[in-house]
Structure 1
């Protein structure tokens, strides 16, 4: 019952993947702290500090916390009012041979900030994999419907025809840019490394008796042991909070893409042309039993808006970091960073679920085309008459009059567009009546849309997804089952 009597964020309790939720869990955080303390001890021992093999082995054997250790750490934090020191003490209890050297020379941000950088990079890896799967799914959809004509919309008013597949490539192209941005952000992340209390490495210089070379080697070795290519050349007590901006901004941009895609599908659902998946037992409305609400796309839009505002926190936090640091970043970042990754994770998994079950209604699409195409075909009809020896101005006036009469039928009387019937009944158009079927073929109005789909997938999607990590994710990725 305890879980039902206290607030829980729906991001982790209701929507997010287990993988992403675990990444930002206390268990992963404190495991990572212990791994960082181990890496520091291993590097310090390698560079000559008196740290025993037994100390190293005990640390290695106790990287994961038991429930009892969580309790001890909580009691210690309550007493000491310092989370890092509480965990130093708790770690020392299960690794007594290392108790005297855990955290040697380090400041709290050695574990907190370096762990955060690990989480940022790992979280981006998870999102990159999910985004690759989504792009793959939507690309299959685009290829399937590459040549299915559909009415285009500008200003949400009928415009020239496009194809269902071509419209999907517009979504995919933005997702490819998001993939590029996430890859850039991940590849740019460095390590805070071993920099000391205000970033001067003074404590480590003292440990190594003024040997600057060993201090630099320590920084490089710990960075390597922690899986990073480089550490930031200078830091204050923390890594610069601009790094958080660099990471959260691409996530917000992904949110904007997701919102646009989901909104397009919501509008298409209203037109009854394309719908998101809808289970046989799903209820759209408690009152209106016939309804099929686009719940998944609405969820994407809802969460994407939240995702888009989170970089504002990172911007403001970075702007108020006085001198070497101030602690007013801490509580904010504990909320903002996990929420950004959990939200992005949910947005991607929901979009994948949508993409794997999109339902297209070709007959509804064809009916809407039939309502608008006669007006769009007027220029083709005029040109066909001219080719048959007709007068362009006369033909224009004839088709103009008939078009207005047909528009009156549609707009004033609520009837079907009968322009073509009027053309067929008018002897003036006898020379081209045998061409009308060809002149009204929707496939002749989509331009190079099918070829654009093919070329886009071949030249842009396939190379972008060729990375081994993306291919592995795509091959392993099963269908997403949507949570409640």
Structure 2
């Protein structure tokens, strides 16, 4: 049988309990607080205050003294006492009702009046998700802003393009970054939409029919509706779900987590690209002066930030399936098999997204480009890409297209053999210069091989994209961007 092998005096240490790396290594303090017990249960108490205020305003026998007493206890939570109650009653909401009632004896009779557990549970989840999205969106905007500056700076720097991870026609460093940017714009849109679409569950009762509240207000349906509206407004929501079961539809969770999962896919794609480019020594993420890349190989500069992003993003991507499956198995008005899963999935989705964005921002604030390495790689491939241009130049100087094609074909294969079989540099241009047939265009070869003539409209595309699509998003967050862009320092 397994036993704790730590010394007895250490067994109660926090280091002998499981601790999520999202808390200890990766996520921000703000997002950790958003999913903390303090935030959760103080929000429950706020919701009980909102309910009492609205019920009093609509005529129920609730006093100002009772409400003031409840307001004074919002953050004063005896967690140990709540845990004792829950151990006894096996019900988290009732445990906190009893704990609050002991703290607020005058208000005890009206705490949770007419409500079901999902009044505090579900409405709190909606508030926390809303606040979570409000934390994440400025971080997305900060990444977008940093990438936009990078794309603009390098919009005209030619670099090998790749299809099938094989060298293809040239693009530019900035144009490639604009592809990452485009995905992040979609993420900003999806997260904004998810935030704006969030509504309040409100006061709906045990199966969503509001029967208990109709009884409280002696059949006055207009007061029940007004109660729903008032509580929603007190909680900061303009809209509420007009029909629910005992819970709001778990399709809402699916929409939010899907948007977060999409962000994970974007981050993974970008950081995978960075890892590939780092291997080619064309581009690197920040590397600190004292950073160690390998315990055995001192020379290594591993892309650990990008690898971390990929690791976190991969977890984030998988959480979408959890939310989808949870929604799919909710029977009729609700079952409780969503609860334990949602405690994990919702918190981890937001904390993982937060950690990924913090790491991404750190990367974007310190990307390093190596133009000379990029130029060398272009020189190894461009002669092959320029063969059609050489043929056209020869034809314009009176050459026969088919004869020229054959000569270029033979020389290209000879040069290719030097590269692949001998491990030498691409010497196709030297071969062209040595062949008397090509004398008419020797003076044109430098201009024919000018990499900037192979990038098409890439620089203009980047400028147009930033001006028309990126800048409006940056402007949207301009008032809070400075705080969001404070240098991102990674914990570990």
The equivalent residue for 2:385 is 376
The equivalent residue for 2:232 is 223
Aligned pairs, number = 480
The 2-side partners of 1:473 and 1:145 are apart by 26
The 2-side partners of 1:123 and 1:459 are apart by 28
> Deviations 1:158-204 (Å, cap 9, x if unpaired)?
10000000000000001101111111111111111000111111111
The equivalent residue for 1:420 is 429
Q: Which stretches in structure 1 are left out of the alignment for 5+ residues?
A: none
Task: Determine which of 473, 479, 482 is the counterpart of 2:480.
Answer: 473
Does the CA-based 8 Å contact 1:139-1:172 persist in structure 2? yes
The equivalent residue for 2:48 is 37
The 2-side partners of 1:483 and 1:269 are apart by 23
Residue 331 in 1 paired to residue 340 in 2? Answer: yes
Deviates more, 1:161-170 or 1:428-437: 428-437
Counterparts of 1:251-330 in structure 2, within 5 Å, are 251-330=260-339
The equivalent residue for 2:370 is 361
> Deviations 1:395-429 (Å, cap 9, x if unpaired)?
11121111111111111111111111111112211
The equivalent residue for 2:490 is 482
The 2-side partners of 1:7 and 1:302 are apart by 20
The equivalent residue for 2:74 is 63
C-alpha displacement of 1:318: 1.1
Task: Determine which of 413, 419, 434 is the counterpart of 2:443.
Answer: 434
Task: Determine which of 54, 63, 76 is the counterpart of 1:52.
Answer: 63
The 1-side partners of 2:435 and 2:249 are apart by 76
Indicate the RMSD between aligned Cα atoms, in angstroms.
Answer: 1.0
Does the CA-based 8 Å contact 1:248-1:314 persist in structure 2? yes
State TM-score, norm by structure 2: 0.96
The 2-side partners of 1:87 and 1:100 are apart by 14
The 2-side partners of 1:437 and 1:44 are apart by 83
The 1-side partners of 2:421 and 2:219 are apart by 90
The 2-side partners of 1:310 and 1:405 are apart by 52
The equivalent residue for 1:462 is 471
> Deviations 1:220-266 (Å, cap 9, x if unpaired)?
11011111111111111111111111111111111111111010000
The 2-side partners of 1:241 and 1:93 are apart by 34
The 2-side partners of 1:338 and 1:79 are apart by 27
C-alpha displacement of 1:65: 2.6
The 2-side partners of 1:191 and 1:30 are apart by 17
The 2-side partners of 1:442 and 1:323 are apart by 64
Does the CA-based 8 Å contact 1:132-1:473 persist in structure 2? no
The 1-side partners of 2:25 and 2:408 are apart by 59
C-alpha displacement of 1:92: 2.1
Deviates more, 1:412-421 or 1:23-32: 412-421
C-alpha displacement of 1:363: 0.5
The 2-side partners of 1:252 and 1:82 are apart by 32
C-alpha displacement of 1:473: 2.8
User: SS at the partner of 1:472?
Assistant: coil
User: SS at the partner of 2:106?
Assistant: helix
Does the CA-based 8 Å contact 1:30-1:65 persist in structure 2? no
> Deviations 1:328-356 (Å, cap 9, x if unpaired)?
11111111110010011111111111111
User: SS at the partner of 1:28?
Assistant: helix
Does the CA-based 8 Å contact 1:146-1:449 persist in structure 2? yes
> Deviations 1:100-124 (Å, cap 9, x if unpaired)?
1110100010000000011111111
The equivalent residue for 1:242 is 251
The 2-side partners of 1:56 and 1:315 are apart by 40
User: SS at the partner of 1:100?
Assistant: helix
Counterparts of 1:109-258 in structure 2, within 5 Å, are 109-258=118-267
Residue 107 in 1 paired to residue 136 in 2? Answer: no
The 2-side partners of 1:432 and 1:311 are apart by 59
User: SS at the partner of 1:341?
Assistant: helix
Q: Which stretches in structure 2 are left out of the alignment for 5+ residues?
A: 1-9
State TM-score, norm by structure 1: 0.98
> Deviations 1:73-108 (Å, cap 9, x if unpaired)?
111111221111111122223322211111010001
The equivalent residue for 2:27 is 16
The 2-side partners of 1:210 and 1:173 are apart by 54
The 2-side partners of 1:473 and 1:261 are apart by 25
The 1-side partners of 2:76 and 2:301 are apart by 47
The 2-side partners of 1:341 and 1:448 are apart by 39
Does the CA-based 8 Å contact 1:27-1:65 persist in structure 2? no
Deviates more, 1:55-64 or 1:30-39: 55-64
